[in-house]
Amino acid sequence: MNLCQLRQADLEKRILKHREKTGCVIIPFMFEANFQTTLLASLRMLLMGAVGYYVIRQRIVSEAILNALNDLIVYLFLPCLILYDFFDKFSFAAYGKWWIFPLLGVVVSLTGLVVGGAVSSLISSKEKRNQFLSLCAFQNSGYIPLLIVQSILKPQDAQEMYMYIFLFLVGFNFLIWSLGAKLISGEERSILSLKDFYNPPILATIVALVMIYFRMHHFIPLVVLDSLGSFGSCMMPLAILVVGGSLATIKLDERQYFKDVILAVGTKLFIFPALVLAGLVFFKVQSLLGLLLIIEAAVPSAVTLTVVAKYYHKDETFINQTIFYSHIVGLVTLPLFLILYQRMVG
């Protein structure tokens, strides 16, 4: 048994032991949500984006290089991150009900889509209406939740939540690179086709799940696994740099989409999380599952939408402005909803 297999066996043993004691994820827990911890997590991302903004604004890095970085994210770094996380942390045996979390990743986004659809008639053009729906449906579901969890949970609970977030991202990634790509690309098709799923992130997810199911990942040399992890760790910082750099190519004081941006930020950061919070309070979901849902509902719009828009060569002005301002406003609204959840349910 090689080192990779020993690590996998130890992971399964620890998780199964936890499952025997607690059952599923619906267990009471304690966490400390305050403005300082969540503010620091959001501020960290904002500062990284500011670096991208500065190097493009000062023409230290050209837009051609920015586009090349975007292609590296889609074709290399993001697939490597997906492969590494699954090979290193996931097991079908340890997570018997693993399918719940990818399903939640789909349900949360579809619920955001419905909420956005209820007010989308206020958006001027059809193309921007589709982008508005994407901004309401797809949130920054990976990086910020991981930082928040690390800040407010005890180490043991945080490790559990990391895996839940990774599984949540399975459904989320499938939807953002299929339905999200369809909305942003603006292609006139009544249903999704197989071509929608033919992109690097989804192919990486499929390959990872198939290899784990047939236990083929045990034969991956440790040096290859570590290399995947090293490449994958570059993904989110580069994605944030790309977003910040993209913001530098547009005028933030441009008033063309001002009302649309306000509506998108208000819907994503106030209306949607308020509805999710009301549901959690009504059903008294006092668990890691409830915390996952309120975090995913309250975080700003996904930075990946800029990557998707660039991938399909679409105008990103409205998307970038909404992402920018949603992260600014989210510095206040995210801690607020976490504290409300803690006091009303936790």
**173 in a domain, yes or no?**
yes
Mean pLDDT of 116-140: 91
Residue spans of alpha helices (H) in the chain: 3-22, 35-57, 63-72, 78-89, 100-119, 126-137, 143-152, 155-175, 181-185, 200-213, 222-232, 235-248, 258-266, 272-282, 288-298, 304-311, 317-344
Mean pLDDT of 82-95: 84
Mean pLDDT of 60-82: 89
Q: Which two tokens stand for residue 42?
A: 């959001």
Tell me how far the alpha carbon of residue 304 is from its chain's centroid. Answer: 8
**19 in a domain, yes or no?**
no
DSSP letter at 250? Answer: S
Euclidean distance between CA atoms 216 and 281, whole angstroms = 43
Query: Is the predicted pLDDT of residue 232 greater than 80, yes or no?
Result: yes
Residue 9 pLDDT class (50, 70, 90 cuts): low
Euclidean distance between CA atoms 90 and 7, whole angstroms = 11
Biggest distance spanned by C-alpha atoms of the chain: 62
**21 in a domain, yes or no?**
no
**What percentage of the chain reaches a pLDDT higher than 70?**
83
Residue 206 pLDDT class (50, 70, 90 cuts): confident
Instruction: Give the pLDDT confidence score for residue 20 in this predicted structure.
Output: 47
Greater confidence, 39 or 328?
328
Instruction: Give the pLDDT confidence score for residue 23 in this predicted structure.
Output: 44
Query: Is the predicted pLDDT of residue 76 greater than 60, yes or no?
Result: yes
pTM of the model: 0.77
Q: Could you give the number of structural domains in the chain?
A: 1
For residue 117, what are the domain limits? 3-13+31-344
> Residues 218, 2: contact at Cβ < 8 Å?
yes
Long-range contacts of 203-210 (CB under 8 A, 24+ apart): 203/79, 204/78, 204/79, 204/80, 204/82, 204/83, 205/82, 205/86, 205/170, 205/173, 205/174, 207/83, 208/82, 208/83, 208/86, 208/87, 208/90, 209/86, 209/170
> Residues 301, 42: contact at Cβ < 8 Å?
no
**26 in a domain, yes or no?**
no
Instruction: Give the pLDDT confidence score for residue 38 in this predicted structure.
Output: 67
Query: Is the predicted pLDDT of residue 155 greater than 60, yes or no?
Result: yes
DSSP string, 121-144: GGSSSHHHHHHHHHHHH-B--SHH
- Quote the mean pLDDT of the chain: 83
**41 in a domain, yes or no?**
yes
User: Looking at residue 200, which CATH number applies to its domain?
Assistant: 1.20.1530.20
Query: 135-149, 226-240, 290-304, 308-322 — which one is most confidently predicted on average?
Result: 290-304
Euclidean distance between CA atoms 133 and 114, whole angstroms = 8
**20 in a domain, yes or no?**
no
Residue range 290-313, pLDDT digits in tens: 999 999 999 999 988 887 888 788
Instruction: Give the pLDDT confidence score for residue 283 in this predicted structure.
Output: 92
**176 in a domain, yes or no?**
yes
Instruction: Give the pLDDT confidence score for residue 149 in this predicted structure.
Output: 84
Query: Is the predicted pLDDT of residue 221 greater than 90, yes or no?
Result: yes
Mean pLDDT of 181-194: 68
**165 in a domain, yes or no?**
yes
Q: Which two tokens stand for residue 165?
A: 């977030």
Residue range 10-50, pLDDT digits in tens: 545 554 554 444 444 444 455 655 566 666 766 777 788 88
Euclidean distance between CA atoms 290 and 296, whole angstroms = 10
